[in-house]
């Protein structure tokens, strides 16, 4: 499968508040994860799918938080992909600090302002597939914040550019 080129995305979500019944309770933290197993599933209704390692932080989070987002990374955002793919990394709060992002109007999740495209989704279905969970989400919002450059690709274990 390393011979199949894949686009690279940043999947994000905001943890639910620690106490949803208390309006003064602190909001949950933002979480992010690099993914290469992301694809369009359907145009009508608009559905997309991401594959998450079972038991990963994002898998656990999306099991309880139905709203999430995806920023499709541009070729000059390799550093972002690497940052959110690190094992044993520092807290996500620190990883987001140096990035230019806005909060999604529907999901509340971080969306990169210079991504090729940004989507907000609501989980419609979760399917266990081996050691992964396929999360199928309905696209609620979609925008194209940046039209510069090409997509960031992952091929044979490395990040690549088109051409």
- Tens digits of per-residue pLDDT, 104-148? 999 999 999 999 999 999 999 999 999 999 999 999 999 998 777
Query: Is residue 58 within a helix (H) or strand (E), and if so which, with residue range?
Result: helix 57-64
Q: What is the dihedral of CA 62, 39, 100, 148, to 10 degrees?
A: -170
Query: 0.75 exceeded by the pTM?
Result: yes
Token reading at 63: 């099991």
Q: Please state, rounded to an integer, the average pLDDT across all residues of the chain.
A: 91
């Amino acid at each position: 499968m390393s011979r199949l080129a894949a686009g690279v995305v940043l999947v994000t979500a905001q943890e639910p508040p620690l106490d949803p019944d208390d309006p003064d309770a602190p909001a949950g933290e933002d979480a992010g994860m690099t993914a290469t197993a992301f694809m369009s599933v359907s145009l009508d209704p608009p559905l997309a799918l991401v594959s998450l390692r079972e038991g990963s932080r994002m898998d656990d989070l999306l099991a309880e938080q139905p709203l999430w987002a995806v920023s499709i990374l541009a070729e000059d955002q390799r550093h972002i992909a690497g940052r959110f793919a690190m094992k044993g990394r520092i807290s996500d709060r620190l990883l987001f600090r140096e990035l230019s992002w806005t909060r999604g109007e529907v999901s509340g999740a971080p969306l990169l302002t210079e991504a090729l495209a940004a989507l907000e989704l609501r989980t419609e279905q979760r399917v266990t597939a081996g050691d992964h969970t396929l999360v199928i989400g309905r696209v609620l919002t979609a925008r194209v914040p940046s039209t510069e450059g090409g997509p960031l690709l992952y091929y044979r274990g490395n990040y690549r550019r088109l051409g």
